[in-house]
Structure 1
Amino acid sequence: MRPRKIHRLVGITLLLPFIAWSTTAIFFLVRPAYNEAYEQLQVRQLPMQNIIQFVPDPAWQEARFSRTVLGEHLLVRDAQGWQHLDAFALNPRPSPTGDELRLLVNDAISHNPARYGQVESMSGMDVVTDTGVEITVNWDSLTLSQRGPDTRWIDLVYNIHYLRWTGFEVFDRIFGLFGLFLLMYMTYSGARMALGRR
């Protein structure tokens, strides 16, 4: 097969990946709704009302006091990670009840009701709002993570951009490398034909 025909065939093969890559590249330059989709949702902190005194455990590497709509919290970190303790008894604080979890999350998302809405359903420490946002509560560290429809949509665009089309990591990686090889061949063969004309 003549080099010009091979060059044309490779160009046709790369047409769909190139359109997908260039279109999603425009998206990443504009990044609409990116900040909200990947917002680091925080538990709302309230001013402390009580003075708490205690003798720290020598195994603790870090200790944090906070106050939320559920009251005072003591978070400590040791070699095994974070623990959520009762701020006064210093015993492990049990996971919140359903009503407490709903109160905590609704308070955390109250700053943006248009995106988060209100808690609609709960399963363990996972919450889903009436706008489709999924929120996970890490009680040991008193932190939240969120993922909404916009987050899932941006993740899809990201996967298209980086040629993660099948969900099988090994295949997608080989597919991406093969695409880069074809692109380099297109550059080489195109430059060679252009210089050959001269």
Structure 2
Amino acid sequence: MKSRKMHRIIGMLLILPMFGWVVTGFIFFTKPGYEGAYDQLAIKTYPLQRAFVIPPEANWLEAKVVKTILGHHLLVKTKDGFEHLDPISYQPKKLVDGEALQLLINDTFLHDPQRYGVVASIDGNQAITNTGVEVSLNWSQLSLRQSGQDTALINLLYKIHYLQWTPFKEFNQIFGFFGLMLLILLTLFGIKMVISTKPKRA
């Protein structure tokens, strides 16, 4: 089969992937909406109003006291992970209930109310705002993670770009490898066509 015909066939097979690569590549380069979609949401803290004595525990790698709208928290890192303790009793601090959790999260939203709005519903340590943003609380580290419709859209674009077009991981890997091989073949046949059509010297 001639190089020109193979080049045409491979080019037709790559129409959709190439279109996806161009569109998503432009979006990844310009990054519209990335700031909000991947905003590092952090619990709002306040200055400590009193001093705390942190006992020297052999298994504590790090320890810090922070104050939120709910009061004071002792956050400890050990070799086994993280612990959230009461800074007075040093006992594990239980996850707050829905009303207190709503107060904690809404207090954090004050820096960007247009994106986050207010908490509309809570299920365990998960909250959904009236603007459609999903927020999850890691109580042991007292940290938050957020994702909105824009986050989901950008993640979808990444899947399109890397040819992750199905819910099957193994198939996506094979499909992605096949797409790269076609792209390499398209380039090789293109080079061969250029060389073969180069005018010969007399």
TM-score interval, smaller chain? over 0.9
The equivalent residue for 1:116 is 116
The equivalent residue for 2:102 is 102
Distance in 1 between the 2:85 and 2:157 partners?
41
Distance in 1 between the 2:180 and 2:158 partners?
17
1:52-131 correspondence runs (5 A) = 52-131=52-131
The equivalent residue for 1:51 is 51
Find the residue that maps to 1:46 and give its secondary structure: coil
1:136-155 correspondence runs (5 A) = 136-155=136-155
Tell me the C-alpha RMSD between the 2 structures: 1.0
Distance in 2 between the 1:20 and 1:137 partners?
35
1:12 and 2:32 equivalent?
no
Shift of 1:98: 1.0
Q: Deviations over 1:18-54 (max 9, x none)?
A: 0110111000111011011111110001010011124
Q: Deviations over 1:121-151 (max 9, x none)?
A: 0100000101111100011110101111110
Distance in 1 between the 2:85 and 2:188 partners?
64
The equivalent residue for 1:34 is 34
The equivalent residue for 2:169 is 169
Distance in 1 between the 2:52 and 2:171 partners?
56
1:177-188 correspondence runs (5 A) = 177-188=177-188
Distance in 2 between the 1:105 and 1:141 partners?
14
| Change over 3 Å in CA distance of 1:195–1:51 after alignment to 2 | same
Query: What one-letter code is carried by the residue in structure 1 that aligns with 2:89?
Result: A
The equivalent residue for 1:195 is 195
Q: Show structure 1 runs of 4+ deviating over 3 A.
A: none
Distance in 2 between the 1:134 and 1:141 partners?
18
Query: What one-letter code is carried by the residue in structure 1 that aligns with 2:160?
Result: I
User: What is the percent sequence identity of the aligned residues?
Assistant: 43
Query: What one-letter code is carried by the residue in structure 1 that aligns with 2:63?
Result: A
- Tell me the TM-score normalized by structure 1: 0.97
- Equivalent pairs counted in the alignment come to 198
Answer yes or no: is the 8 Å Cα contact 2:3–2:192 preserved in 1: no
| Change over 3 Å in CA distance of 1:40–1:194 after alignment to 2 | same
Shift of 1:167: 2.2
| Change over 3 Å in CA distance of 1:197–1:54 after alignment to 2 | closer
Query: What one-letter code is carried by the residue in structure 1 that aligns with 2:61?
Result: Q
* Structure 2, unpaired ranges of 5+: none
Q: Deviations over 1:70-108 (max 9, x none)?
A: 001101111211111111111111110111100000011
| Change over 3 Å in CA distance of 1:188–1:110 after alignment to 2 | same
- Tell me the TM-score normalized by structure 2: 0.95
